[in-house]
Amino acid sequence: MQPAMNTPPRDREEFWIRFVCAFLFFGFLAALLIVRFIDSLGIAQGLGLWTVVVLWVSVYAAKVGDQAWLDLIEAIRRW
């Protein structure tokens, strides 16, 4: 019997799979937003903001599991 996907990862491989998927997905979304506001932010601040946001979201999604995706998508909808 396999555990539900909303449980925290039990091994390293599962953690890294979740991390990479979240990094790619939210990295792309954050890059689109940063490019839109690059004139007002500047390249250094935009890159720094992108790095912090994407790493934080990726670690959160990797540790929490599917509930993190639901929370993040709901936050994007409200925004």
Q: How far apart are the C-alpha atoms of 65 and 63, rounded to whole Å?
A: 6
Which of 66, 56, 71 lies closest to 23, judged by CA?
A: 56
Q: Please state the pTM of the whole predicted model.
A: 0.75
Which of 69, 67, 64 lies closest to 22, judged by CA?
A: 69
CA angle 23–63–60, rounded 5-degree value = 50
Q: How far apart are the C-alpha atoms of 10 and 45, rounded to whole Å?
A: 36
Per residue of the chain (79 residues), give pLDDT as tens.
455 556 666 688 888 999 999 999 989 988 988 888 888 888 888 899 899 999 999 999 998 888 888 888 888 788 7
